[in-house]
Amino acid sequence: MSESMMSVTSLNTKIKSLLEATFMHTMVEGEVASVTYHTSGHLYFSIKDKSSAIKCVMWRSSVSRMKFRIEKGMNIVVEGSVSVYTPRGEYQFQTVRIEPYGQGALALAYEQLKSKLKDKGYFDTHSKKPIPKYIHKIVLVTAQNSAGLHDMLKIIQKRWALVEVIIVDVLVQGKIAGQKIAHGLAYADTLGADVVIVGRGGGSSEDLWAFNEECVADALFAMQTPVVSAVGHEVDVMISDYVADLRAATPSSAIEMILPDCNELLYTLDENISRFKAIIGQKLEGFAHESSYHLRILLKASPRRKIEEVQKEFRQTREAFVRYMGYRLEHEHGTLPRLLSQYTLVMENLMKQKSAHLHFMQKQLTLHNPKAQCQKGWSQTSIDAKRVELCEIQSQQTFILEDEFTKIEALCLKRY
């Protein structure tokens, strides 16, 4: 074999030494062409530009430190070194860190998680629990010695010192802070509080990042107790703010939002007492007038009152009648003899007239009495029980002739 000739293994070994020594701690920018998150935890992907592509790998230890997930079509900057797999003569870019091109990793991770949780319904309004109007027990999930906790306790003492406060001490900054906050929220949900406040004071995006962790969002969404997110300053908006039932700009404002001001409440109570006294006074006065009116109606309509009124009216009528009769008797006493004389004269004249009329009627009765006429030789003729004159009887006509004692049926043989 010629001295200039080498084996495949030797060539690949020299290429490996050359490439790995030359391309150490290199940064490469490109578009994600393919990506696979393996079940082992490793990340396999490739990046490309207009003319070529390169395979990349990131081991599980480095993947666990990433705040976001890469997706196909995303422009990224990878940092690492070139490695060669000698048995197959293949090389790839061994990545230790990935950053989105032109955008911070935290900002991208924030947007990715926000979009994911929105699709899962974590931000839906209908899933938000109402904050109770009257709070007797409150749980504060935050760092034990933080300025945010100090501010909240100070305002609680000022506004509503009657509330029972429970503090759940958790880490609010660092790599494991998200898990600690999630565990603290789960524990707070078991304490039977009316509301839970989770949060901390201000800081940088990295300091506040624990409240953007997915585990914190899951814990917030799973809670049965109403929860308020109060992280950082007013300009800081965390993932926890979207998932919680209520978002407060600062820890201090969270207390002001959910607890009443005792001074305002006392002032309101004084106003209500004065207003209620006035209303009750008006009502009582109205009821008194109404009761008096109904009492008068009842007395007026009572049977005893009716009887008394009838008796009074009867007495008045009787007295009026006695007076009137006395007056009439007194007035008519002088005219009574004259009226009696006139009455006697009228009655005598009337008796004379009636006596003369009676005498006249007796004469008429005697004159027209059929019995009296029969005594003088007169009789009565009739045909078919109807009285007729003799001149009315025709020849050969049968008729009845009768007087007081006798009745004869006769036949007219001939008229003259």
What is the extent of the structural domain holding 224?
Answer: 112-125+134-260
Provide the phi-psi class of 232: left if phi over 0, else alpha when psi is between -120 and 50, else beta.
Answer: left
233-237 contacts, C-beta under 8 A, 24 or more apart:
233/202, 236/202, 236/208
CA distance 197 to 152: 10
CATH no. for residue 32?
2.40.50.140
In a domain, 199, yes or no: yes
Residue 320: per-residue pLDDT: 85
In a domain, 363, yes or no: no
Residues 246 and 284 in one domain: no
In a domain, 399, yes or no: yes
Residues 77 and 116 in one domain: no
In a domain, 160, yes or no: yes
Residues 117 and 232 in one domain: yes
In a domain, 256, yes or no: yes
Residue 372: per-residue pLDDT: 58
At residue 109's C-alpha, the angle toward residues 107 and 113, to 5°, is 120
Give the single-character DSSP code of 111: H
Q: Are strands 227-231 and 246-248 parallel, antiparallel or unpaired?
A: parallel
Residue identified by tokens 């030359």 is: 22
Residues 176 and 49 in one domain: no
Residues 252 and 278 in one domain: no
Residues 288 and 248 in one domain: no
> What does the block give as tokens for 355?
């006596």
Residue 373: per-residue pLDDT: 55
Number of domains, the chain: 4
Residues 282 and 250 in one domain: no
In a domain, 366, yes or no: no
Residues 86 and 195 in one domain: no
Residue 370: per-residue pLDDT: 59
CA distance 213 to 206: 12
Does the pTM of the predicted model rise above 0.85? no
Residue ranges, the chain, pLDDT below 70: 1-3, 102-105, 332-334, 336, 367-377
In a domain, 192, yes or no: yes
CA distance 210 to 317: 105
CA distance 76 to 70: 8
Residues 117 and 72 in one domain: no
Residue 46: per-residue pLDDT: 92
Residue 215: per-residue pLDDT: 94
Residues 289 and 215 in one domain: no
In a domain, 290, yes or no: yes
CA distance 160 to 194: 14
